[in-house]
Chains A and B, each alone.
Chain A
């Protein structure tokens, strides 16, 4: 089993839709969690951190469920510009190891 797993997608949604991705992790001692966004043939960039109590940034909401060992990303009112691959990142090993999921591809269509 991989340390961090994501549904690769693609998720094809119409503009304005709400879409959610999950990411599961295997190490219960994982400490910190992030969502990164990667556009086609570009480098990954931080989208948002994931806090224990959940957090929101505009149309984006991140949640953490430690009991079930997953994090989620919810995108409301999706835009064409949201089309990208979304990578979850888990920090383990006393803060010394950042592990990326393989990413979930989102395609927002007219």
Chain B
């Protein structure tokens, strides 16, 4: 049963610490998204990769967030330094598409981050 895998599932850290979240997309999917979900803002797009190339990271605070895909089986989202306002659930999602994306997104179970 193919699925998107995210680690860690839960993370509690102190303000100022570095946080790294990892995502293994479904094998064969060429599109990876990072979303952040809070009660107030809902799902916000942070970054988006196609064929490992970053296409859009305009939703990501550049001073502290970075997203990479070192290879086709791993996407990372890093926060350094973390702040309490970063507390949220971070979802990775993958899909397949050529050119314009019109397909279904498959989400991981999310990484629940709490920054104290």
Contact = CB atoms under 8 A, between A and B. Distances in A.
Interface string B86-116: 0000010000010111101101111000000
Contacts of A44: 43, 91, 105, 107
Interface stretch (A64-72, A76-84, A93-101): A93-101
Given A32-B102, A91-B101, A98 B45 contact: yes
A91 to B, nearest CB: 7
Interface in B60-87: none
A87 interface: yes
Contacts of A100: 35, 42-43, 45
A92 to B, nearest CB: 10
A46 interface: yes
A99 B45 contact: yes
Contact of B108 (A43, A46, A95, A101): A43
Contacts of B105: 36, 44, 46, 98
Given A95-B100, A97-B56, A43 B109 contact: yes
A90 to B, nearest CB: 12
Contact of B101 (A95, A99, A101): A95
A42 interface: yes
Contact of A91 (B42, B56, B91, B102): B102
Given A42-B109, A43-B108, A96-B56, A31 B43 contact: no
Contact of A96 (B42, B101, B108): B101
Interface string B29-67: 000010100000111010010000001100000000000
Given A98-B45, A99-B45, A102-B41, A31 B100 contact: yes
20 contacts: A31-B100, A31-B102, A32-B102, A34-B104, A42-B109, A43-B107, A43-B108, A43-B109, A45-B107, A46-B104, A46-B105, A91-B100, A91-B101, A93-B56, A95-B99, A96-B100, A97-B45, A97-B56, A100-B43, A102-B42
Interface of A: 31-32, 34, 36, 42-46, 87, 91, 93-103
